[in-house]
Amino acid sequence: MSNLLEIKNLRTHFVKNKRIIRAVDGIDFQIGKGETIALVGESGCGKSMTSLSIMGLVPSPGGKIVEGEIILDGVNLLDLTEKEMYGVRGKDIAMIFQEPMTSLNPVLTIGDQLTSVIIHHLKLSKKEANLRAIEMLELVGFSDPTKMMKNYPHRLSGGMRQRVMIAMAMSCNPKLLIADEPTTALDVTIQAQVLELMKELSKRFSTSILLITHDLGVVSELAERVVVMYAGQIVEIATIEDLFDDPLHPYTIGLINSVPSIEGEIKRLQSIEGNVPAPGSIIQGCKFAARCSHAFDRCWIEEPDLLLMDDSRAVRCFLYDDEEANV
């Protein structure tokens, strides 16, 4: 599988009150063509900022990509001008957001919003764009798409709006769909529908998906590989099977243990002690050490590197360092 997107040593920093916050602190990962990757972590771990960095929408002033490469189909997006990015956003990379209730423009009809994107990127006539929009709405499961075109967002439910967002995102055949917590704000039953829809569409159009979430249930539903982030860094990369069967990093183990299980015996729900380090705080050694039950002397002094275990597996923890094994 060739890579669609390669992120190399990406660093996105924020300056707030003259302090530098390393929101994204040197991350590397790849997404294959047609592959679905999940980016997992607690709030504030830098996963949303990673997605905004890929889109070139890091909030400015304040935020800035200071280092790294984001290569989409052989082109480094960071080398493109803002004007060239207008042609990439919404066309090559589309995005759907966490808040379907507020992500659509309240004063424009669904039809207006869909067709304007289609006309902008595919250079179709108004009439053709209309047909395309209706086709997309039908595809995401609206039974009366023509009527839906004339509706305003406030008349739709959250699930319906998220489906409109998906229709909008998929309308220009993107190579990559970034879904930033697409189901967090939805009812559980609607969540399943939306996930099913994303799965189906990505297969149909062989679109790669970067799924950003903190919900491991959603991850197991959709993703093939998982990237776990903590405090702006990647702590573990694994296939979905490896991640749930044999999680390596103590943080990943903690995450999985904190999901209640329907099967098996009833036991007390576990949580990871402590909090995510405050953004901008300077920590010596491993960033997770303060919350880690396995932490030992070395963890407080040195910062572990991301260790490659095999082709599809990497972990940032001294427990798996050969040096330690030798001791």
Partner 1 sequence: MASYIVRRILYAIPLLFLITIISFGMMKMAPGDPTALMMDPMIKKENLVAYQEAYGLNDNVLVQYVRWLGNMVQGNFGESLIRQGVPISDLITARLPNTLLLMLVSSFIAFLISIPLGVISATKRNSLTDYSITFVSFLGIATPNFWIGLVLIMVFSVNLGWFPTGGVSTLGEPFSIWDRIHHLILPALVLATADMAGLTRYSRSSMLDVLRQDYIRTAKANGFKNSTVIFKHGFRNGLIPIITILGLMLPSFIGGSVIIESIFAWPGIGLLFVEAAFQRDYPVIMAVVVIAATLVVVGNLLADILYAVFDPRIEY
Query: Exactly one of 8, 11, 64, 91 binds partner 1 (CB under 8 A); which one?
Result: 91
Residue 269 in contact with partner 1, rule: CB under 8 A: no
Are the beta carbons of 228 and 249 closer than 8 angstroms? yes
Residue whose CB is less far from partner 1, 41 or 153: 153
Residue 90 in contact with partner 1, rule: CB under 8 A: yes
Residues 199, 153, 47, 16, Cα dihedral to 10° = 170
Residue 286 in contact with partner 1, rule: CB under 8 A: no
Residue whose CB is less far from partner 1, 2 or 43: 43
**How many binding residues for partner 1 (CB under 8 A)?**
31
* Among the residue ranges 78-86, 261-269, 303-311, 317-325, the one whose residues contact partner 1 (CB under 8 A): 78-86
Residue whose CB is less far from partner 1, 114 or 223: 114
226, burial (CB in 10 Å: exposed 0-12, middle 13-18, buried 19+)? buried
What minimum distance in Å lies between the beta carbon of 80 and partner 1? Answer: 12
| Joined tokens for residue 109 | 């009809």
- State whether residue 71 is helix, strand or coil: strand
Residue 197 in contact with partner 1, rule: CB under 8 A: no
Question: Among 233, 176, 227, 228, which Cα is nearest to 3's?
Answer: 176
Give exposure, 142-153, as e/b (b: 16+ Cβ within 10 Å).
beebeebbebeb
Residue 21 in contact with partner 1, rule: CB under 8 A: no
Residue 319 in contact with partner 1, rule: CB under 8 A: no
Residue 64 in contact with partner 1, rule: CB under 8 A: no
Quote the CA–CA distance of 17 and 141 in Å, as a whole number. 47
Query: Exactly one of 89, 199, 214, 298 binds partner 1 (CB under 8 A); which one?
Result: 89
CA distances from 107 to 113, 115, 241, 273 (A): 10, 15, 45, 45
Residue whose CB is less far from partner 1, 105 or 312: 105
Q: Terminal CA-to-CA distance of the chain, rounded, Å?
A: 39
Binding mask 93-132 for partner 1 (x = CB under 8 A): -xx-x-x--xxxxxxxx------xx--xx-----------
Alpha helices in 89-215 (DSSP H): 110-122, 126-139, 145-149, 158-170, 188-205
Quote the CA–CA distance of 191 and 188 in Å, as a whole number. 5
Residue whose CB is less far from partner 1, 108 or 269: 108
Quote the CA–CA distance of 284 and 312 in Å, as a whole number. 28
Residue 88 in contact with partner 1, rule: CB under 8 A: yes
Quote the CA–CA distance of 27 and 66 in Å, as a whole number. 12
Residue 149 in contact with partner 1, rule: CB under 8 A: no
Binding mask 28-57 for partner 1 (x = CB under 8 A): ---------------------------x-x
Residue 182 in contact with partner 1, rule: CB under 8 A: no
What minimum distance in Å lies between the beta carbon of 325 and partner 1? Answer: 46
> What are the backbone dihedrals phi and psi of residue 220, each rounded to the nearest 5 degrees, phi first?
-65, -25
Residue 152 in contact with partner 1, rule: CB under 8 A: yes
Residue 87 in contact with partner 1, rule: CB under 8 A: yes
Residue whose CB is less far from partner 1, 88 or 198: 88
Question: Among 54, 34, 49, 38, which Cα is nearest to 252's?
Answer: 38
Interface contacts to partner 1, rule CB under 8 A: 55, 57, 61, 83, 85-91, 94-95, 97, 99, 102-109, 116-117, 120-121, 152, 154, 165, 168
